[in-house]
Structure 1
Amino acid sequence: MTSPVLRIPHTLVRYTDESRIDTLLQAYDREGLDALVTRLGVNVRVSGGKTILMLAAERDHLLATTSLLCRHADVAAVDDSGKTALHYAAMSGADGVAEVLIDAGAPVDMRDAEGRTPLWYAAARNYPDSAIVDVFLRAGANPRLRDHHGVNANDML
């Protein structure tokens, strides 16, 4: 009698080591990044549920972000705290990355677990006259959406 074969669905989330991806992003080792994405999938996750796209956005890496989007990375994927790649671009002030993500269909008013939008983070972490805030406002982000503490981006602008 043969034992049944355990089949793992392809829809399960795959995880990898963040330091490995960080090394590839810092050096912009496109071949290495492509090999990793080919082997593990473009939406592979690291601790905290971040995708490679989120890491690239957080590190303001426009080339890697564009490359991942060309490979159909999920712009609406959320990590364990409900943040998207656009939230990470906003937190790091990565206006070029934010524009590319928005052009690829990233939702500008997506709220994280705290009820905060990417514009909220852009306003909170960057100067009000910075380019990142303008990117979100031009894209139609709502500055009046309040987080769970009652604070909105307008309060910080």
Structure 2
Amino acid sequence: MKKTKKTYKLHEAILHKDIDMVLSCISNGADVNEKDDNSYAPLHYAAQNNLFEIAKILLDAGAEVDPKDSHGNTPLSEAVFNFRDDSSMITLLLNHGANKFEENNYGISPYSLAESIATTSVFTLLK
């Protein structure tokens, strides 16, 4: 799969938390589902960094809610692993149909990850 400059710009805009650039990339045709060299879709980065507004923009633009990286992790897995007191990202992904039981290449799902490392509040969200 050929990577486009527009897509790398989208990934970069997300990593820089630049909402205006994210919107510009999308309006100029960046693929909201294309993975970078790390096999991360844009939504992985938004979830990993708890960038709620950017994740919402991506989902509203047609981003798949459960893309997998090279290890089989989904954005919901990233959100659970990187949870820091704000459950809005997890709630957003679940409300868009994220599969809490989708296992990665090692048999770990967001649900089982929450059971082992997350706070009670995260585990409660996933029940």
Calculate the TM-score normalised by the size of structure 2.
0.81
The DSSP-based 3-state class of the residue aligned with 1:111 is: coil
CA distance in structure 1 between the partners assigned to 2:9 and 2:61 by the alignment: 16
Pairwise CA distance, 1:76: 1.1
Identity of aligned residues (%): 30
Match of 1:96 in 2: 53
Structure 2: which 5+ residue stretches go unaligned? 115-122
Q: Which has the higher contact order (CA 8 A, sep 6+)?
A: 2
Distance 1:13 1:146, change over 3 A: closer
Q: Is 1:65 the equivalent of 2:22?
A: yes
Which has more radius of gyration? Answer: 1
CA distance in structure 2 between the partners assigned to 1:151 and 1:12 by the alignment: 30
Distance 1:12 1:120, change over 3 A: closer
Runs of 4+ in structure 1 deviating by more than 3 angstroms, as ranges, are 11-14
Structure 1: which 5+ residue stretches go unaligned? 1-10, 15-40, 44-50
- Spell out, residue by residue over 1:61-115, the C-alpha distance to the aligned partner (whole angstroms, 9 max, x if none): 2111111111111111111221111001011110100000001011111101000
Structural RMSD (CA): 1.9
